[in-house]
Amino acid sequence: MRTARLGIRAAALAGGIVMAVGLTACGSDKEGDDKPADKAKDSTNSSDVAPRGALAALKLASQRTDEQDSAKVEGSTVIGEARTTMSGEMDWSTGGIRARMDVTQSGGAVQGSPMDGKAMPALYTADAMYMNLGDQFAATPQASGAHWVKYDYDVLAQKAGPAGAFLKDTMQNNNPARSVQLVLATGEVKAVGEETVKGVKATRYSGTVKVADLAKLQSKDLTAEELSSLQKQLEQSGTKTETIDLWIDENNLLVKKREYGENNNGKFDSTVFYTDYGVDVSVEEPPASDTVNFEEIQG
């Protein structure tokens, strides 16, 4: 029983983190040996950026990134003592996110549990997220042999209130370009300098967003009442501002994003890398016979 509950809680935690970062995914600041984003479609070079102001550059980056359909992503999120890493590929050609990921959690709520440090396959469709909790979970009475747990976005919106509605909105309307648009919406952004990201030359831009405005800037389909409730929840968490750093390459594509700040749970820091724009992404729902709904195994 305890193993099953730990597994469920771990999956919920991973799902919340992954969706909260918009499946922009997460990453570490450690440079890797990944190939640069050489599959981008019809990208232009940095000579297209005119004038050279940060807002003009990010506006072009938003446009160019939005024109892509897919990319490989990797990264990590640290919230207090909890760390989540993920890697995979995502497609946003239909507006929302379809993705295949491997998600690994360590520390925090899962420390010492069977989920600590174990990679879990995750799938994202237009309507739901699925996580494979493995054979140990499948052997529990709650799972009845099922390896995959389904998190239906509509059900999450009902169960988690405004926060659930926000997660649903994010997953069904998000893509990497939204991160650039979010910084643009603040109207306050500066170019920090030139850096190398995974072997690719890029310009780093930085902006700070007030958490009270964050939900309004990010959301697309939330009602005024949902936005107001969500903003209150965010404020109660102790988060006042969030800094967003973006790295834009010579093709005017987003290659790295970092979000960081501090709240009542301590510091939070999330970074994601984007490579191989244009990669083919295939996502199929797990068999119904191997799937259980998360709301059916609570308790």
Residue pair 81/107 in contact (Cβ under 8 Å)? The answer is yes
- Arithmetic mean of pLDDT over the chain: 75
Residue 105 clears pLDDT 60, i.e. is over it: yes
Q: How many domains does the chain have?
A: 1
Q: Tens digit of pLDDT for each residue in 228-281?
A: 665 666 666 666 778 889 999 999 999 999 988 887 777 888 899 999 999 999
Q: Tens digit of pLDDT for each residue in 137-147?
A: 899 888 899 99
- The enclosing domain of 75 has a CATH number of 2.50.20.20
Residue pair 55/184 in contact (Cβ under 8 Å)? The answer is yes
Higher-confidence residue of 88 and 242: namely 88
Lowest-pLDDT range of 124-138, 258-272, 281-295: 258-272
The pLDDT value given to residue 286: 96
Burial 30-68 (b: 16+ CB within 10 A, else e): eeeebebbebbeebeebeebeeeebbebbbbbbebbbeb
Domain of residue 89 covers 2-296
Higher-confidence residue of 259 and 52: namely 259
